[in-house]
Amino acid sequence: MAMGGADVVPGVSGGTIAFITGIYTELLDSIKSINGESLGLLFKFKLADFWKSVNGKFLLPLFLGVLTSLLSLAKILKYLLENEAISIWSFFFGLIVVSSLLVLREIKKWNVSVIASMLVGVAIAYWITITSPAETTEAYWFIFLSGCIAICAMILPGISGAFILLILGKYEFIIQAVTERDLLVIGVFALGCIVGLLSFARAVSWLLKNYHDLAVALLSGFMIGSLNKVWPWKIALAFRINSEGHQVATITKNVLPGEFLRSTGEYPMVLQAILFMALGILIVVVIEKIAHRKIVN
């Protein structure tokens, strides 16, 4: 459920949640196990063997949890982003800061290559966060392609699949399809996600097994670079009209609380922001401790 909630928000990655809870490697291995051999078992109706080969006891509750969050939290998070922006972005800022530190802790040996890999991750994620959203077609082929691309980002810590959808101009379109239960659009998007997921998970899993420290440094760099997106105080530079006829910001600029007050006339709520950052940090630490205890046991 936490992964699904994170994936709904532009700037936050479900992969981050998977990493800090200690299920990231199992997630990749389970996805990778869905191949021709396991599908052959399914088509032969050897359901018990298929269930075991794809680690169904792990994937099913994970999938149901993500789906539950996507269906239940979409409207709530949309409301919070529109009405409690500083608080919710502060919460996610704290979450990502502490998550990136926990990921860096997984690096066994630091060297020049590892540092360079982390810096590359920071640069890529930062570039993605400053890319302006595009106006794109609503054709089904593009919805399928958007699913392929977004799901790859969703399983990478620090790279937000929701923000990739925002860049592709399909974030609000998909959120609206989910809230209105547009099954055709959801189905095409989900099919794209499945295709992207099955192919991309293998590449990430291979990198983690063969170049662990470089891969982890790259992933942590993604997370650090994404902090630019979740900075709580922003001023709008450009606007557009969304599907509901409301004016929304398309390009924003991060500013300090003082400039935010001067530019918008709105109180920056610095203390409240700090408290929500602390809450994000606390929740991640608690999740990590619980996950570590369960892994040990």
> What is the distance, to the nearest Å, from the Cα of residue 155 to the centroid of all Cα atoms in its chain?
7
Q: What is the mean pLDDT of the segment spanning 119-144?
A: 81
Among residues of the chain, what percentage have pLDDT more than 90? 13
C-alpha Rg value of the chain to the nearest Å = 19
Closest Cα partner for 234 from 213, 261, 197? 261
Token digits for 181?
């239960």
> What does the alpha-carbon distance between residue 67 and residue 243 come to, in Å, rounded to a whole number?
24
Phi, psi of 234 (to 5 degrees): -135, 150
DSSP letters along 180-216, please? TT-HHHHHHHHHHHHHHHHHHHHHHHHHHHHSHHHHH
Give me the residue spans of the domains in the chain: 2-296
Within 10 angstroms of residue 282's Cβ, the number of other Cβ atoms is 13
Per-residue confidence (pLDDT) for residue 273, from 0 to 100: 94
Q: What is the mean pLDDT of the segment spanning 12-16?
A: 74
pTM confidence score: 0.71
Give strand ranges (E) for the chain.
234-241, 247-254
> What does the alpha-carbon distance between residue 262 and residue 228 come to, in Å, rounded to a whole number?
21
Confidence grade of residue 135 (pLDDT, cut at 50, 70, 90):
low
